[in-house]
Amino acid sequence: MKTWFITGASSGLGLGMTERLLARGDAVIATARRMEPLVALSEQYADRLQLVPLDVTDTAAVRRVVDEAFAVHRIDVVVSNAGYGLFGAAEEVSDTQIDRQIATNLTGSIQLIRAVLPHLRAQGGGRVLQVSSEGGQIAYPSFGLYHATKWGIEGFVEAVAQEVAPFGISFTLIEPGPTGTGFASAVDMAPAQAAYDATPAGALRHAVTSGAFELVGDADRTVAAMIAAGDAAEPTRRVALGSTAYQSIERALTARLAELRAQRDIAFSADRD
């Protein structure tokens, strides 16, 4: 039996993971801002499910909750899952929306990781699954602030993974594509500006609001793959989930590599003699 610590456990992938892990016999410390969706599970699995209210934008609370959890449990896998999407062109989103998006998706994830590292070191290792997105390696118009948080947390994880590998701590970035999780219904939509109606930003807004934006990924299969990543004896740094994620990331990486290679002479010309 493993013990998992999950943020954002009251909906989407976090809730799906919690349900599946409990059903297979594991223990879960489930944190979320809203506990209501987890009450029935807590009654069914009272011996293996602990519910802890937590808003990841409250850094002091993150540290307190993490300290209290590790004081009682040896936690095998930490799942940094809390987050949401902000939709709007750069001109359309407000300062308040920007601050909240970064505080939740980026700063919240960073502070959770910082809080768990001393405990994982002390117990001799552990696993961190950081939920990112295909949007951690590609970009759609009107999701710029969301992408900023996902590209940002991927860079942070890349660095920290190297720092703590000697302590037996491993990281995996989970990169789902568009998946039927309820993510779209929870997106914070900035008011539209007419100037963007006939642009790629406006086209994507229409696709999202009309329901034409296709969600290929299956939530249950995505959850199963995330758990498999947490169980893997030899973890990989990234796991792309869904054909959309795979194809989008492959196209983006191929194009960036071709662009880089075309600039080889320019790059080398900037060296000292």
Identified catalytic residue from 146, 170, 196, 248:
146
How far, in Å, CA of 251 to CA of 27, rounded?
39
How far, in Å, CA of 174 to CA of 125, rounded?
20
What is the token pair recorded at 50?
A: 């602990």
DSSP letter for 31, please.
Answer: E
| Amino acid making up residue 71 | A
132 given a catalytic annotation: yes
DSSP letter for 195, please.
Answer: G
Question: Which residues neighbour 51 within 8 Å (Cβ) at sequence distance 6 or greater?
Answer: 30, 31, 32, 35, 38, 39, 42
Question: Which residues neighbour 177 within 8 Å (Cβ) at sequence distance 6 or greater?
Answer: 133, 134, 216, 217, 240, 241, 242, 243, 244, 245, 246, 248
* Segments in the chain forming alpha helices (H): 12-24, 39-44, 59-72, 95-101, 108-122, 144-164, 200-210, 219-231, 243-262, 264-269
How far, in Å, CA of 63 to CA of 243, rounded?
37
Identified catalytic residue from 10, 11, 132, 170:
132
Identified catalytic residue from 80, 150, 170, 248:
150
What are the counts of helices (DSSP H) followed by strands (DSSP E) for the chain? 10, 9
List residues with catalytic annotation. Answer: 132, 146, 150
